[in-house]
Amino acid sequence: MEFTRFELDNGLRVIHHQDPHSQTVILNILYNVGARDEEADKTGFAHLFEHLMFGGSVNIPQYDKVVEEAGGSNNAYTSNDITNYYISVPLENAETAFWLESDRMLQLDFSQESLDVQRGVVVEEFKQRCHNAPFGMLWHHVRGLAYKVHPYRWPTIGLVTEHIERARLEDVEAFYYRFYHPNNAILCVTGALSLEETTALSEKWFGSIDRKGERNANRYPDEPTQTDRRSLATEDLLPQDAVLMAFRTPAYAELDWPVAGLLADICGGSETSPLHVELVKEQGLFASAEAFHMKGLSEGLWMIYGILNDGRTHEEGEAALRGILDRCSTDIPSEERLVRCRNMATTRLLFEETNPMNRAQKLCYYENIGLLGHAGKEATLLDAVDISQLKRWAAENLRPEKSNVIYYSPRS
């Protein structure tokens, strides 16, 4: 993936990735702030602020209206680690995108009305996603069990709605000025726009933003090493009982995510995996089961779960999942299955990178963690994984004393 990186005098990092075959231009802006940067009594602020960014800036009161008139589209997302905004416009309207994004970086139009509207939207989203959906409180339960010190202990949407309902105008303004400035942002421009045009437009629209601020140092309390099994029995909106196990994994920058991801695919990522064949088809213990890995910049989470069939107990489910995990360090990762899962993972990467939006987001993400040179080289990392690494990683990270186990029952 070829790109050019430069930095403006105000600290904004700009990455240019030319795609001469595209007739659209994409601007992706990553702000180095996520839910892990919130205070324990003010959770959900990063997500609330994502919504406020669409409430209008000083010079552009209706952001979405201007985007639509330019023939473009836009969206954003927040995670525990970052907040990411992206806009796509036709090539001839590229400057409109620079104008729009620079203006809301320059100065949002803070008003009590906008805060009240977006606060209501976020609270309603919390209720729909967490209180009225199957496994709605999953990330509250998992993160609250796995973390006791690190701010990963709450989900992106926040711990409770009261934190958002209590948000004051001065709170959100302080959040904006602390994190939403050029020195804490990364801009990636992809499409047919040349490097010369990108440089000129970046200087014109972003270079004059002189709001100063410190780049987020991303320093968080160290989470102690887990040395004992933790468990929780709870109810949620489910048709059947379920068992879930979660394990903390090393940070993304340590580059062992290919091992963790491949191991999840090998154990339970498809209908031909041991998890599905043995525990769903042959034994009929679970109605469905899966394993997957979630990457994180401070730490990741490796998850395995099963939805129990009627008449089967949580204890049976946990013992069966534990049996699969114990075999991960002995006989499960066969060479044939490794090759198959590695080919599937590589194919996913190749399809992802046909989308210029994905390439733009990936370049911003790698720049944010100081590994820009690794962007586009994930397939090489996957190719380097062997059976011995998989077994060693499983033996080290999927140990019983590092497990966080949840017994779910249907809410009455």
| pTM score of the predicted model | 0.95
Identify the CA nearest to 24 among candidates 218, 139, 190: 190
Helix (H), strand (E), coil (C) string for the chain: CCCEEEECCCCCEEEEEECCCCCEEEEEEEECCCHHHCCCCCCCHHHHHHHHCCCCECCCCCHHHHHHHCCCEEEEEECCCCEEEEEEEEHHHHHHHHHHHHHHHHCECCCHHHHHHHHHHHHHHHHHHHHCCCCCCHHHHHHHHHCCCCHHHCCCCCCCHHHHHCCCHHHHHHHHHHHCCHHHEEEEEEECCCHHHHHHHHHHHCCCCCCCCCCCCCCCCCCCCCCCCEEEEEEECCCCCEEEEEEEECCHHHCCHHHHHHHHHHHHCCCCCHHHHHHHHHCCCEEEEEEEEECCCCCEEEEEEEEECCCCCHHHHHHHHHHHHHHHCCCCCCHHHHHHHHHHHHHHHHHHCCCHHHHHHHHHHHHHCCCHHHCCCHHHHHHCCCHHHHHHHHHHHCCHHHCEEEEEEECC
Name the band, by pLDDT with cuts 50, 70 and 90, for residue 412: confident
- Please state the rounded mean pLDDT for residues 336-346: 94
Between helix 112-126 and helix 45-52 the angle, nearest 10°, is: 120
Q: What pLDDT shows up at residue 14?
A: 98
| CA dihedral angle for residue 43, residue 46, residue 47, residue 48, rounded to 10 degrees | 80
pLDDT at 265 over 90: yes
Provide, rounded to the nearest whole percent, the portion of the chain with pLDDT above 70. 100
Choice between 152 and 330, residue whose per-residue pLDDT is larger: 152
**What is the per-residue pLDDT across 350-376, written as a single tens digit (0 to 9) for each?**
999 889 999 999 999 999 999 999 888
In whole numbers, what is the pLDDT of the chain averaged over residues?
A: 95
Domain boundaries along the sequence of the chain:
4-205, 230-410
Q: Tokens 């249907």 — which residue?
A: 410
**What is the per-residue pLDDT across 116-153, written as a single tens digit (0 to 9) for each?**
999 999 999 999 999 999 999 999 999 999 999 999 99
Superfamily of domain 4-205: Metalloenzyme, LuxS/M16 peptidase-like (3.30.830.10)
Name the band, by pLDDT with cuts 50, 70 and 90, for residue 97: very high
Name the fold adopted by 230-410.
Cytochrome Bc1 Complex; Chain A, domain 1 (3.30.830)
Q: What pLDDT shows up at residue 1?
A: 82
pLDDT at 226 over 80: yes
Contact 184, 364 (CB under 8 A): no
Q: What are phi and psi of 219, to 5 degrees?
A: -105, 125
What is the C-alpha separation between 265 and 126, in angstroms, rounded?
A: 30
Name the band, by pLDDT with cuts 50, 70 and 90, for residue 55: confident
- Please state the rounded mean pLDDT for residues 55-74: 92
Say how many C-beta atoms besides its own lie within 10 A of residue 53's C-beta.
Answer: 21
What is the C-alpha separation between 176 and 179, in angstroms, rounded?
A: 6
Q: What pLDDT shows up at residue 253?
A: 85
Residues 154-171, buried b or exposed e (16+ Cβ, 10 A)? bbbbbbebebbeebeeee
Contact 271, 284 (CB under 8 A): no
Structure token digits, residue 30: 């990553």
Contact 394, 263 (CB under 8 A): yes
Identify the CA nearest to 40 among candidates 162, 139, 142: 162
Structure token digits, residue 363: 């370049």
Q: What pLDDT shows up at residue 353?
A: 87
- Please state the rounded mean pLDDT for residues 76-96: 96
